[in-house]
Amino acid sequence: MSRADRLVALLEERELDCLLVTQLVNVRYLTGFTGTNGACVVTRDARLFLTDFRYVQQAKQQVPEFEHLEASRELLGDLAAQLGGRAGFDDAHVSVRAHRLLSEKVGEGVELVPGAGVVEGLRAVKDDEELRAIRAAVEVADAAYQELRAAGLAGRTEREVARSIVRFLEDRGADEVSFPPIVAAGAHGALPHAAPRDVPIPRGTLVVVDLGARVDGYCSDCTRTLATGSLEDRPLEAYEAVRRAQQAAVDDVRAGAVCRDLDAMAREMVESSFGTGFEHGLGHGVGLEVHEGPRLAATAEGSLEPGNVVTVEPGVYVPGEFGIRIEDLVAVTGDGRDVLTGFPKELVTVDG
């Protein structure tokens, strides 16, 4: 069953006559189109794809399952003309201005209805082809950690290491990085989204390295916290607390596991053994975007199902001292899980 066919089944559930898809990642997912201007309308019995003259040829090759309409300079107006009945639109991504324009242009009797999350729900369950691309993106990211282990960290600046990661991933066949790498030594690691600095990494510290590659459009996401020499007891204890909680949460990933329970369990484990923990969610889905559904967080709804690919990434952040995060990418299977990330989770010392 094609993705558009699966979407039609969801339209019926939501009592929509059609869905207007304008967010490019969702357009790509449904149609295969990789250009920067395109949209589609899916109804129970029609699939329409619109792009402008620059992409007409590309779209003919990439989007075989849709009927093609060449758009004028005003893509939204052209799309509005195709809508009928109860028409879902992506209210999480359509601007107020675009919505006003759509409302002005739709025909008589068309009702614009919020339809956010319909395509995202499909995207949360990966097929084999998507899993292959994610695995390839994980493999090249694993190799980047092996390279860091070999090259060492002490004496290099965070920014220099971050640049070398980007080069390495691209040289090894990634389309690009899935996000700018985080390389954060010592106290800087206590900021979960630290930007790399022009500061040499000292010996005897922890370094949080969070990186991901994109292959065939699909992302990977991995964090390891590496040591540059021997450490004091407190960071070592914290590392063990995070590692144990991370492993316990990974072992609990399975179809039917309640997303918010996984988050609560890992959080409680870190806090009870180390006294402090992490404020971000335990994990998130990864696919065409590095952050997508399902979320593993205190406020998350729902439970895992086969085909979900999620990160599991608890941490400890001690302001002014250090940060630790360990993040694996895990695929939910019919009878358990498949941990995609391969780099070891025991503390690795890189400048021994």
10 vs 296, beta carbon nearer Zn ion = 296
12 vs 338, beta carbon nearer Zn ion = 338
Report, in Å, the least distance between residue 100 CB and Zn ion: 36
Report, in Å, the least distance between residue 290 CB and Zn ion: 7
Report, in Å, the least distance between residue 84 CB and Zn ion: 40
Alpha-carbon gap, residue 133 to 123, rounded angstroms:
14
x/- contact string, 211-240, with Zn ion (CB under 5 A)? ----------x-x-----------------
Q: Confirm if 281 and 298 have CB atoms less than 8 A apart.
A: yes
Residues forming a β-bridge with 226: 207
Q: Confirm if 17 and 87 have CB atoms less than 8 A apart.
A: yes
Site for Zn ion contains 311 (CB under 5 A): yes
Report, in Å, the least distance between residue 211 CB and Zn ion: 7
Q: Confirm if 211 and 222 have CB atoms less than 8 A apart.
A: yes
Report, in Å, the least distance between residue 144 CB and Zn ion: 13
Q: Which of these ranges, 25-33, 65-73, 90-98, 319-327, lies near Zn ion under the rule CB under 5 A? A: 319-327
Report, in Å, the least distance between residue 322 CB and Zn ion: 18
Alpha-carbon gap, residue 19 to 266, rounded angstroms:
38
Q: Which of these ranges, 144-152, 192-200, 226-234, 305-313, lies near Zn ion under the rule CB under 5 A? A: 305-313
φ/ψ region of 218 (left if φ > 0, alpha if ψ in -120 to 50, else beta) reads: beta
Q: Which of these ranges, 120-128, 206-214, 260-268, 297-305, lies near Zn ion under the rule CB under 5 A? A: 206-214
Site for Zn ion contains 210 (CB under 5 A): yes
244 vs 280, beta carbon nearer Zn ion = 280
Report, in Å, the least distance between residue 215 CB and Zn ion: 16
Report, in Å, the least distance between residue 293 CB and Zn ion: 13
Residues forming a β-bridge with 89: 20, 114
Report, in Å, the least distance between residue 73 CB and Zn ion: 39
8 vs 324, beta carbon nearer Zn ion = 324
Alpha-carbon gap, residue 76 to 291, rounded angstroms:
27
Site for Zn ion contains 351 (CB under 5 A): no
Angle made by CA atoms 46, 51, 57, in degrees to the nearest 5: 100
118 vs 297, beta carbon nearer Zn ion = 297
Q: Which of these ranges, 1-9, 32-40, 72-80, 308-316, lies near Zn ion under the rule CB under 5 A? A: 308-316
Site residue total, Zn ion (CB under 5 A): 5
Report, in Å, the least distance between residue 286 CB and Zn ion: 7
Site for Zn ion contains 246 (CB under 5 A): no
x/- contact string, 252-291, with Zn ion (CB under 5 A)? ----------------------------------------
x/- contact string, 323-342, with Zn ion (CB under 5 A)? ----x---------------
Site for Zn ion in 133-152 (CB under 5 A): none
Q: Which of these ranges, 108-116, 233-241, 310-318, 336-344, lies near Zn ion under the rule CB under 5 A? A: 310-318
Where along the sequence are the contacts to Zn ion (CB under 5 A)?
Answer: 210, 221, 223, 311, 327
